[in-house]
Chain A
Amino acid sequence: DVKVTQSSRYLVKRTGEKVFLECVQDMDHENMFWYRQDPGLGLRLIYFSYDVKMKEKGDIPEGYSVSREKKERFSLILESASTNQTSMYLCASKQGSNQPQHFGDGTRLSIL
């Protein structure tokens, strides 16, 4: 089974802090994704990566950046956290076209 591991289940940070969310997958997948999930809005794509050091903006990239230095690891960075970035963050990976994405358990991030 594919395993996608997010480094934290719950995280509390303060406004203005730089926040790192880490995601690791163990199936050598080429594609990795970061979403945020908010009530009534479903999942919205922040960024994705289709290869090491490659990244593409999703629907809501503002206020975020990403890093993919190794194939198995995809990091989401909040450069200067704000309260409107309080959310559930979900990482996913997949291999190949038309294949389903496999999700981690999510990180519930609160910005105070």
Chain B
Amino acid sequence: GNSVTQMEGPVTLSEEAFLTINCTYTATGYPSLFWYVQYPGEGLQLLLKATKADDKGSNKGFEATYRKETTSFHLEKGSVQVSDSAVYFCALIPFGGANNLFFGTGTRLTVIP
């Protein structure tokens, strides 16, 4: 079946630290992969996406590379800010254009000044 596993939080970092949030997936074929971010009190916003192997999605200083060989899509940022404090969700759409998104359980990030 299709599933997403992401590292459990919470993650607490100091401002300007390097961030990695691990995400691995199980799916047949080549799914499309996404990272969503949820700021306090808000809905989910698309952060970045990648639709084929070796693609790199990037936005707002965040990056993630679609690694088919390790079935991973780890989220990274070189220097986090307090404003990056949020919950981050990794998700996939299975190959073949299914409508459903399969989500990980989310990782809460807190950045302290």
**Interface window among B20-28, B63-71, B72-80, B102-110:** B102-110
Does the CB pair B103–A106 fall under 8 Å?
no
B89 CB contact (under 8 Å) in A41, A42, A50: A42
What is the minimal beta-carbon distance from B2 to any residue of chain A, in angstroms?
12
Chain B residues positioned under 8 Å from A45 (CB to CB): 100-101
Distance of A4 Cα from B46 Cα, bound (Å): 13
State whether A105 touches B100 (Cβ < 8 A): no
Chain A interface (Cβ within 8 Å of chain B)? 4, 6, 31, 33, 40-43, 45, 48, 50, 58, 90, 92, 94, 96-98, 100-106
Q: CB of B43 within 8 A of chain A?
A: yes
Asked if B42 and A105 sit within 8 Å, CB to CB, the answer is yes
CA distance A96 to B32 in the complex (A): 13
Bound-complex Cα distance A102 to B49 (A): 13
Q: A98-B97, A100-B34 known; 17 other A-B pairs, CB under 8 Å?
A: A4-B43, A40-B105, A42-B89, A43-B89, A45-B100, A58-B100, A90-B43, A92-B44, A96-B97, A97-B98, A101-B101, A103-B36, A103-B43, A103-B45, A105-B42, A106-B42, A106-B43
